[in-house]
Amino acid sequence: MRAEPILKKVAHQTAMLKNFLSKKKQNPSDLEFLSIAGISDAEHNTDSVVPLQSALSSRLIFDNIHVYMEKIERGEEASHHTIYKSAESIQLIYWFLAKYTSPEKKRISTGQLKTAALS
Task: Write out pLDDT tens, residues 16-31.
Answer: 999 999 999 999 988 9
pLDDT tens-digit profile of 78-91? 999 999 999 999 99
Q: Output the domain CATH number for residue 98.
A: 3.40.50.1820
User: Sheet containing 67-74: which strands, arranged edge to edge?
Assistant: 32-39, 67-74, 113-117, 107-110
Q: Quick check: is 18 in a domain?
A: no
Question: How many Cα atoms within 13 Å fall on the side-chain side of residue 106?
Answer: 4
Higher-confidence residue of 106 and 103: namely: 103
Number of domains making up the chain:
1
Beta strands per DSSP E along 24-66: 32-39
Q: Quick check: is 1 in a domain?
A: no
For the chain, give the longest Cα–Cα distance.
39
Q: Which residue range is the domain that position 46 belongs to? A: 29-117
* Cβ partners under 8 Å of residue 118, min gap 6: 63, 64, 65, 66, 67, 68, 105
pTM here is 0.75
Residue 3 has pLDDT above 80, yes or no: no
Q: Quick check: is 9 in a domain?
A: no
